[in-house]
Structure 1
């Protein structure tokens, strides 16, 4: 990332914590759902979501700390393959389509951010890129709108349940992780 060092480390800490929490949820959640009439076992939606969010959280933390020192091809494979898998899964099964499309967009945004970071010109000795825009401004703007809107939407879902009460207990932690991922992605895109 191309922001102040303190902001990068705070973002890394926040997203690593969310990613680690998703890993613990992944470890505790059931591996498969019950098979339906002749169908094979498959990942439960909760487990699939926890795996995707753990990858995104830990990936954002690594990207915030290492920046462009990791080759672009590593980031492209790390996030490009899950993006393709989520796109295929979203197109082939209507159940959970919206959530899978969100994970695909997130993984594609991570790939885009990493490729834009590694393609950037050399920084000045102070570590700042003076007025250099990274990536395609239109795509960056569209992703900023998406993740800004997603963060606002997930924040409102975190604060209110159907009964109108706050959902900040343990049941609200997965929503808090989703909010963290949205804010983290927004922050990464904002530094481009």
Structure 2
């Protein structure tokens, strides 16, 4: 990740905390939530690794290719899972964006480090538009997230809190925007 050092470390912390919470969500009693949380944990930890400032750690080209392969495989899994629901389409776009950024860093790391080149490619712009829309949509969904029952507020286990899962997805969407903006 390129840009101010403090912003990069904040992004690393946000993505790592999101990944850790997604690991907690994997303890849910609902199988679909566990499966979704596993994919989101991979995204959170992968984003944290990719956001480590280049002033601290500059991975070799093969590491970026490894990231690309891991997220390419995750994109294939999300493509297969997309047959079951629309949320998996978001996972597909997210994993594809991660693979895209990793391969871009492997191919031209020096150009990204010094912001050389002819500007943002069309694909980066399309991904930015998608994630801006996703962040706005998921942020709006957080507003009415208070669930209650006849006896008062409903409390589910940490793995079954929909408002926390939405906040988790919102933070990863904002992280993805920050990472795409530095491309």
Q: TM-score, length-normalised on structure 2? A: 0.81
CA RMSD across the alignment:
2.4
Q: 1:22 to 1:121 in 2, by over 3 A?
A: closer
Q: CA deviation at 1:131?
A: 4.1
Stretch deviating more after TM superposition (45-54 or 142-151): 45-54
Aligned-pair CA distance for 1:24: 1.0
Residue ranges of structure 1 left out of the alignment (5+ in a row): 34-43, 164-168
Structure 2: tracts of 5 or more residues without a match: 148-154, 156-160
Match of 1:141 among 125, 138, 156: 125
2:44–2:172: 8 Å Cα contact kept in structure 1? Answer: yes
Shift of 1:182: 0.5
- 2:158 is aligned to none
Question: Which of 36, 39, 49 is 1:49 aligned to?
Answer: 36
Residue by residue over 1:94-145, the C-alpha shift from the partner in whole angstroms, topping out at 9 and shown as x without a partner, is x32x11111011001001011112222537xxx95144457x6100000000
**Structure 1 residue 69 corresponds to structure 2 residue 86:** no
* 8 A contact 1:19–1:55 mirrored in 2: yes
Alignment of 1:109-188 (within 5 A): 109-122=97-110, 129-132=114-117, 137-161=121-145, 170-188=161-179
Q: 1:2/1:117 Cα in 2 relative to 1: closer, same or farther (>3 Å)? A: farther
Paired residue total: 166
The answer to whether the 8 A contact 1:3-1:128 is kept is no
In 1: Cα distance, 2:100 partner to 2:46 partner: 13
- How far residue 172 of structure 1 moved from its aligned partner, in angstroms, is 1.2
Q: 1:99 to 1:121 in 2, by over 3 A?
A: closer
Alpha-carbon spacing, 1:132–1:8, altered in 2? closer, same or farther (3 Å): farther
Q: The residue matched to 1:2 in structure 2 has which SS? A: coil
**What is aligned with 1:78?**
70
Q: 1:184 to 1:130 in 2, by over 3 A?
A: closer
State the structure with bigger RCO (CA 8 A, min sep 6), 1 or 2.
2
